[in-house]
Structure 1
Amino acid sequence: MRVMVVDDEPLARDGVRARLNTHQDLSWVGEAGDGETAMQVMEKLRPDLVFMDVQMPGMSGIDVLRCIDPERRPLAILLTAYDHFAVTAFELPALDYLLKPIDDQRFREALDRARTAMRHHLSDESVERSQEWAERFTVRVGQRIVVVEASDIDWIEANDDYAGLHVGSRVYLLREPLHQLSLRLDPRRFLRVHRSTIVRIDRIAELEALSNRDCLLRLKDGTPLRASRTYVDQLRAALAGGLDVRSS
């Protein structure tokens, strides 16, 4: 996958490039320090993926992406120091949104999402309309095989090499690590809120900010879950996209 970075801060560009160098399936093709130059360089280099700073002198990163025809627009991961741009990132649409300073775990997850989107693209499928998301899972319960519908899942937790699918008061163990399962779930319905937790967005009833920038979620059935601060901005953006919750 051919990758480009656009950021007006040289140190920020160097930081992204250093992280990318540890991934052998990614090829660094170029960089730009402002929006106008980015437009020219992207037209010439045609990257598959661009890490795009939101705020730059002159033309913003969001304006750059909006000026590119959707059919020619590269996959985009937005970078910013301000969390209020998160909603715009999801409306664009962008693949992901990373808050500076970049968290290594979130960076790897964003790359995994880009790889998945690229596979759909190479199969001539629209990323936005992809029907590849898992709709049901088969799990073994004793001697029986039980079918669990994705629409019935409230939340999912990591359990070593398994994922615990919480459906009401029942928990079904799926033999698949959480990080792999997260790539098969529709991001419009499921969101990772912690390294060990994925939640179905429409099950969230309340969101309470904590002193360390973590958040406490409460599901509609009363289940409390903790959201790590590295996922909170993405969570708030997803909730702002249409879910009515009470934020403390």
Structure 2
Amino acid sequence: MMRVMVVDDEPLARDGVRARLASHADMRWVGEAGDGESAIQAIESLQPDLVFMDVQMPGMSGIDALRRVTSQARPLSILLTAYDNFAVAAFEIHALDYLLKPIDDQRFRESLDRARAAFRQRTHDGYVEPQKAWAERFTVRVGQRIAVIEAAQVDWIEANDDYAGLHVGSRAYLLREPLHQLAKRLDPNRFLRIHRSTIVRIDRIAELEALSNRDCLLRLHDGTPLRASRTYVDQLHAALAAR
């Protein structure tokens, strides 16, 4: 069970996060705050495991509030903002994720999955839970044969109804597993979702190009163009900055 609090100067925004959390039985709401100073005090008294932190608030920003909490006492954090220029600062305070307002429900669920994975790795009562074993290979049917595809060979993955298309160089293999389920089995340090229907291996990215609608066009080392939607762009920048 994760203890969760929300910090936002807008009551409706706090209510929105709280409503979304209600459908997740492993998340326990412990409190809220409406400004940076109150957030620091609440974090010290409530000791949440996870905080949803608004970036821009009157007075102290959410990022500055988290900076004022010692690293030992600082909870896992997911940043909330209507703007998309805080990715580097988010990385500096080790934020798990960065959600743009209005919050996309699917991105919210993905953020919680990241929080769960990070929470499992934290020390509890002197015991560190073993790290989740990420998928290292996949078995796919090719005609009458079964082929084994190593995760390290995969360049990118696309949704294809109830299948996931594994792209390895110029070839594509259909894995009988929906993309949203496969995403939970992939190492987040190597694979990143950049669109509802696309996952990319981070070290295959060669360049990025910002688009006018705040989406992003990226190209892989082999020249393959892929589109990253605006709800994933900041997470993409933070992942590349961390490498």
TM bucket by the smaller chain? 0.7 to 0.9
Match of 1:41 in 2: 42
The AA in structure 1 aligned to 2:121 is H
Cα distance in 2, alignment partners of residues 233 and 33 from structure 1: 24
The AA in structure 2 aligned to 1:56 is M
Q: Would you say the 8 A contact 2:44–2:73 is kept in 1?
A: no
Q: Closer, same or farther in 2 for the Cα pair 1:131/1:67, shift >3 Å?
A: farther
Q: Closer, same or farther in 2 for the Cα pair 1:122/1:177, shift >3 Å?
A: farther
Q: Would you say the 8 A contact 2:35–2:59 is kept in 1?
A: yes
Q: Would you say the 8 A contact 1:113–1:183 is kept in 2?
A: no
Q: Would you say the 8 A contact 1:138–1:147 is kept in 2?
A: yes
Q: Closer, same or farther in 2 for the Cα pair 1:134/1:101, shift >3 Å?
A: same
Cα distance in 1, alignment partners of residues 187 and 68 from structure 2: 27
Cα distance in 2, alignment partners of residues 165 and 72 from structure 1: 41
Mean alpha-carbon deviation: is it higher for 213-222 or for 187-196? Answer: 213-222
Say if 2:5 is the partner of 1:7. Answer: no
Gaps (5+ residues) in structure 2? none
Query: Percent of aligned pairs with the same residue?
Result: 79
Q: Would you say the 8 A contact 1:116–1:183 is kept in 2?
A: no
| Aligned residue-pair number | 240
Deviation of 1:187 (Å): 2.2
The AA in structure 2 aligned to 1:60 is S
Q: Would you say the 8 A contact 1:87–1:238 is kept in 2?
A: no
Say if 2:95 is the partner of 1:94. Answer: yes
The AA in structure 2 aligned to 1:154 is D
Q: What's the TM-score once normalised by structure 2's chain length? A: 0.86
Say if 2:40 is the partner of 1:29. Answer: no
Deviation of 1:131 (Å): 6.3
Match of 2:223 in 1: 222
Q: Partner of 2:158: helix, strand, or coil?
A: strand
Cα distance in 2, alignment partners of residues 95 and 188 from structure 1: 12
Q: Closer, same or farther in 2 for the Cα pair 1:193/1:41, shift >3 Å?
A: same
Cα distance in 2, alignment partners of residues 145 and 91 from structure 1: 44
Q: Partner of 1:84: helix, strand, or coil?
A: coil
Counting only pairs closer than 5 Å after superposition, residues 73-152 of structure 1 correspond to structure 2 as 73-121=74-122, 124-125=127-128, 130=131, 132-152=133-153
The AA in structure 2 aligned to 1:167 is V
Cα distance in 2, alignment partners of residues 224 and 206 from structure 1: 10
Q: Deviation string for 1:17-76 (max 9, x for gaps)? A: 222223333221100112222122122222221101123334332233333343433221
Q: Deviation string for 1:133-176 (max 9, x for gaps)? A: 33333334345443322222110111222221111112222232
Q: Would you say the 8 A contact 1:189–1:201 is kept in 2?
A: yes
Deviation of 1:85 (Å): 0.7
Mean alpha-carbon deviation: is it higher for 134-143 or for 180-189? Answer: 134-143
Q: What's the TM-score once normalised by structure 1's chain length? A: 0.84
Cα distance in 1, alignment partners of residues 242 and 114 from structure 2: 20
Q: Would you say the 8 A contact 2:123–2:129 is kept in 1?
A: no
Q: Closer, same or farther in 2 for the Cα pair 1:8/1:126, shift >3 Å?
A: farther
Q: Partner of 1:83: helix, strand, or coil?
A: coil
Q: Closer, same or farther in 2 for the Cα pair 1:206/1:151, shift >3 Å?
A: same
Match of 1:193 in 2: 194
The AA in structure 2 aligned to 1:119 is R
Mean alpha-carbon deviation: is it higher for 149-158 or for 133-142? Answer: 133-142
Q: Would you say the 8 A contact 1:86–1:233 is kept in 2?
A: yes
Q: Deviation string for 1:69-88 (max 9, x for gaps)? A: 43433221011222111122
